[in-house]
Chains A and B, each alone.
Chain A
């Protein structure tokens, strides 16, 4: 014992000493390893491979292949090759980047891209050097800044709600009875009040088997536009998440519009039934109109074509007839007083929630200048026109949008006029969806409740509901932070 115990203690002490000395000696190593470096020096990193993360639709429709082929041909002399990163399009750079996994260039919606600024996972970009800089609306650029004067992404396309409707289901007398301003556009495409009255007429006449405007109203992305139109907002100035504003201004009037619209639909508006069914039911003539994003145009055409083919038309004729009968329009205006049954109320523009999809460069890339060259190429006038042709997107570049014209030009115009409320570029946005979806489905259910169980009979009760949702969102963001 006299000899053994001290020897045992000596052994353990040696190990402990080694741990203490060498953990201390190396603890400052990381601090000295870091150094600030300019990431864009204008010199292309030659003989490099760029991993590009694109969205699934662009890959499936063949656009991404076309883009890679064109870019690789242009930069073959420098040995720069862009390849499909072959990763999930919902990849989270925040989770994967620090561990060396992730693409060099990423394409996602602005709210997704901008959450990466929190941990500096994406690079601030010298966007003034890009061809698209002057051609892209400031509103689109604003989606990619956090108010520090830097831009972290390059806008590619605008995501905004679009009204899809059946031209052949318009009333035969629409030019005399449903075109008050005689501008050649049916009132129901310009005024939510007219759409409401038309929907009510269809539902009544069909005994509740056919409908006018149909949409799953619990969907915050599409329904919050009604609230924004009367003064609501998501977060306060500079994305101040302590200020949640779905109940701000006269938002309860917008909530009343949602409640009224639910009354001319069926219970499918409470859950996702209409969202799932809208393509086939619009094609079958059960629905007159619905709202979704521009990139789903081909889905409606395909369903309508199927219906006409089943009726005996050839594939080609069915496609032509489908294109002829499917109409698209921007979101109609709202009555100032929010009463859709009031034909005398002046109209105000209907705002809509939208997003700007774009490219960003991962901070973990070894070739920032080559990545910038790729983005410059992919956001060129020609490539965005190709993207529009192949994917039906609305280009963020105004020259490309104007060149395409039609709906694309209109959406871009709405963006320019400030009626498109871009999804906040904040991580906290993910905590908005569920509380708002819960409230909106509750409001949408109200017209289907027995009289005694109605929850939102008037504007104060709608205001209280919105305030509760605001509080839930605030609690979700701040209670545990």
Chain B
């Protein structure tokens, strides 16, 4: 681009001033007119609506609506979304304008070499041939911008406003900078709860991932033994647990561990005292039940995955190791585990992230409790549950967005670090 600006002739300058003009001067009529039309469309867009969109993004509205009185007013949330859309259009315009300059400069170089400027038809044909990737990716990229980038950017930007609590449309939302993050990290009741939940969240994610992984691998190894009869039938049982929708399993477990559930019925029937497995005082019991229930739901997935991978291990490796006198434990440590680990590290990372953000387990098992020394949370809540309590139960959307941003940063760093340090990345060729 810089080269184009430095070395460009008067046609490139013309294209920089008015898109397509340089192409017209090169005799590329169709492309020139198309680009001029794009330039005019961009100007029309910003005249008619884009300008308002961008201003709305900055102010988030200035007139409070009163639907009962018929005063339409501004809706800050809509203004924010449309503002992001306006920015995306502006960026798109700049990209096209940049491409238009580069295109004109390329034509200048082509002409300097004695060739004629490329025909529009030939350029169109290249979109189905040499440049087909551009054609194929255009719509998906547009879709990703509108349906993925826009909502994510919206959610991120909410963290920098005062949206939530009493400030929801028709009240006007304002930009508050890093205020939400400051509250999370410094507010009297907030900070201790955040760090306590964060600590438990790490313990939970590590323990549950390890338990699910080792449980699944153990089951796969067990069902892989040739001496077990009707292995396919045994494999079917864990798959049954997997096939039942997760939240139904969770509600069933909640009932099983409740005071009126079958476990307590058996305890009281045998003359014992009912146990509050999931009640207010049941911090570690509830956490342990959460780990067990999560394993119940997730182990079958790991088992299936490991079963497939185990079938690919070269049997001669085991034969050779047996000849060398390796014990079963050594075989597992040196052959099975590295092989499975190599193939499943990305899955392991995704399981860790999934467990880190596992909303359902404690929401269904032990939702609706706020315990002492926690702000609007219980001692089994994960960050994602706390986020829900704050943003849905208590309408603190900005704080919720700030917490989700923190979760995103933590999980991204961990995923990247683990992946980059894993054999899957460092020793890509090992098992090829």
Contact = CB atoms under 8 A, between A and B. Distances in A.
B368 A434 contact: yes
B248 to A, nearest CB: 16
Looking at chain A's contact residues, is the secondary structure mostly helix, strand, loop, or mixed?
helix
Nearest to A22: B51
Nearest to A6: B13
Contacts of A190: none
Contact of B68 (A6, A272, A363, A442): A363
A34 B6 CA distance: 52
Residue among B94, B101, B395 facing the most chain A CB atoms (10 A cut-off):
B395
B67 interface: yes
A128 B32 CA distance: 70
Contact of A34 (B51, B73, B97, B276): B73
Contacts of A37: 69-70
Interface in B381-422: 389-390, 393-396, 399
Contact of A120 (B66, B164, B280, B396): B66
B402 to A, nearest CB: 11
Given A4-B12, A435-B370, A22 B393 contact: no
B280 A15 contact: no
Interface string B45-69: 0111011101100010111011111
Interface stretch (A24-32, A155-163, A373-381): A24-32
Interface in A1-51: 1, 3-8, 10-12, 14-15, 18-27, 30-31, 33-37, 39
B137 interface: no
A271 B17 contact: no
Interface stretch (A104-112, A262-270, A385-393): A262-270
B16 A4 contact: yes
A446 to B, nearest CB: 11
Contact of A15 (B14, B42, B190, B395): B42
B5 interface: yes
B5 A1 contact: yes
Contacts of B274: 266-267, 448
A379 B214 CA distance: 64
Contact of B13 (A4, A21, A26, A481): A4
A88 interface: no
A479 B54 CA distance: 33
A35 B72 CA distance: 8
Nearest to B94: A12
Contacts of A480: 164-165, 183, 187, 390, 394, 396, 399
A178 B69 CA distance: 60
A93 to B, nearest CB: 10
A231 interface: no
Given A11-B97, A19-B50, A94 B168 contact: yes
A480 B93 CA distance: 40
A314 interface: no
Contact of A22 (B52, B171, B273, B375): B52
B55 A8 contact: no
Contacts of B261: 273
Contacts of B395: 427
A277 B259 CA distance: 12
A99 to B, nearest CB: 8
Contacts, number: 205
A98 B14 CA distance: 47
Contact of A438 (B46, B170, B371, B396): B371
Contacts of A442: 280
B190 A479 contact: yes
B273 A448 contact: yes
Contacts of A33: 72
A348 interface: no
Range of interface residues on A (Cβ < 8 Å): 35 or more
A121 B169 CA distance: 10
Contacts of A94: 168
B67 A364 contact: yes
Contacts of B291: none
Interface string A393-424: 00000000000000000000000000000000
A441 interface: yes
Contacts of B7: 1
A475 interface: yes
A97 B169 CA distance: 10
B43 A270 contact: no
Contacts of B264: 267
B55 A23 contact: yes
Interface string B104-143: 0000000000000000000000000000000000000000
A267 B51 CA distance: 64
B63 A31 contact: yes
A163 to B, nearest CB: 21
Contacts of B61: 30
Interface in A250-277: 266-268, 270-274, 276-277
Nearest to A469: B370
Contacts of B63: 30-31, 34
A3 B13 contact: yes
B71 A35 contact: yes
B85 to A, nearest CB: 14
A11 B71 contact: no
B259 A268 contact: yes
Given A4-B5, A121-B67, A24 B55 contact: yes
Contacts of A31: 62-63
Given A11-B19, A19-B51, A23-B52, A481 B370 contact: no
A199 to B, nearest CB: 18
B208 interface: no
A263 B216 CA distance: 45
Contact of A30 (B74, B183, B396): B74
Contacts of B393: 430-431, 434
B52 A8 contact: no
B17 A8 contact: yes
Contacts of B68: 39, 120-124, 363
Given A276-B260, A431-B394, A270 B16 contact: no
B315 interface: no
B47 A18 contact: yes
A268 B75 CA distance: 47
Q: Which of B51, B101, B395 has the most CB of A within 10 A?
A: B51
B12 A476 contact: no
A11 B52 CA distance: 20
A475 B276 CA distance: 28
A321 interface: no
Contacts of A39: 68, 70
Contacts of B231: none
A433 to B, nearest CB: 8
A191 interface: no
A24 B46 CA distance: 12
B432 to A, nearest CB: 49
Contact of A445 (B276, B369, B371, B376): B276
A468 B280 CA distance: 15
Interface string A427-462: 100110111011001100100100000000000000
9 contacts: A4-B16, A27-B52, A27-B62, A30-B62, A121-B68, A271-B258, A441-B279, A475-B375, A481-B165
In the A-B complex, list the 9 residue pairs whose CB atoms are closest, starting with the nearest: A273-B260, A23-B55, A34-B71, A22-B51, A23-B51, A363-B67, A7-B17, A3-B13, A8-B16
Interface of B: 4-10, 12-19, 42-43, 46-48, 50-52, 54-55, 59, 61-63, 65-75, 90, 93-94, 97, 101, 164-166, 168-171, 183, 187, 189-190, 258-261, 264, 273-274, 276, 278-281, 368-372, 375-376, 389-390, 393-396, 399
Given A19-B50, A438-B369, A441-B280, 4 more contacts: A119-B65, A120-B170, A271-B258, A272-B258
